Amino acid sequence: MRSPWIIILSCHCYRWLLALGPEEFRSEYGEQTLQVFEECCRDAYQNSGIRGVLALWPSLFSEALTGMLIEQGQQSRPWWPCLLALTLILIPFYWLSAVWSNFGNLFYSIFATTTEHKIGHAALFCILGLLIFQSFPSLRNRPLSYSASMLCMILGEELIHKVRLPLPINQTDLLSDLIGICGAYLVIKLWQSAQQRVSAN
pLDDT in tens, the chain (201 residues): 678 888 988 888 888 777 776 677 677 777 888 899 899 999 999 999 988 888 888 788 777 777 766 665 555 555 666 666 667 666 767 667 777 888 778 877 877 788 887 888 888 889 888 888 877 777 788 888 788 778 877 776 666 666 555 555 567 778 888 899 999 999 999 998 888 888 877
Exposed (0-12), middle (13-18) or buried (19+): which is 81, by Cβ within 10 Å? middle
Distance CA 122, CA 175 (A): 8
**Closest Cα partner for 8 from 37, 31, 46?**
37
Distance CA 174, CA 95 (A): 18
Biggest CA–CA distance in the chain, Å, is 61
- By residue count, the chain amounts to 201
Q: Phi/psi zone of residue 21: left (φ > 0), alpha (ψ -120 to 50 degrees), beta? A: beta
- DSSP classification of residue 111: T
3-state secondary structure of 168: coil
| Entry pTM | 0.61
Q: 183 near 126, Cβ under 8 Å?
A: yes
Distance from chain centroid for Cα 200: 33
Distance from chain centroid for Cα 23: 17
Distance from chain centroid for Cα 123: 16
End-to-end Cα, the chain, rounded Å = 53
Q: 164 near 92, Cβ under 8 Å?
A: yes
* pLDDT at site 1: 60
Sorted by sequence, the CB contacts under 8 Å of residue 164 that are 6+ apart come out as 92, 94, 95
* pLDDT at site 187: 94
Q: 184 near 128, Cβ under 8 Å?
A: yes
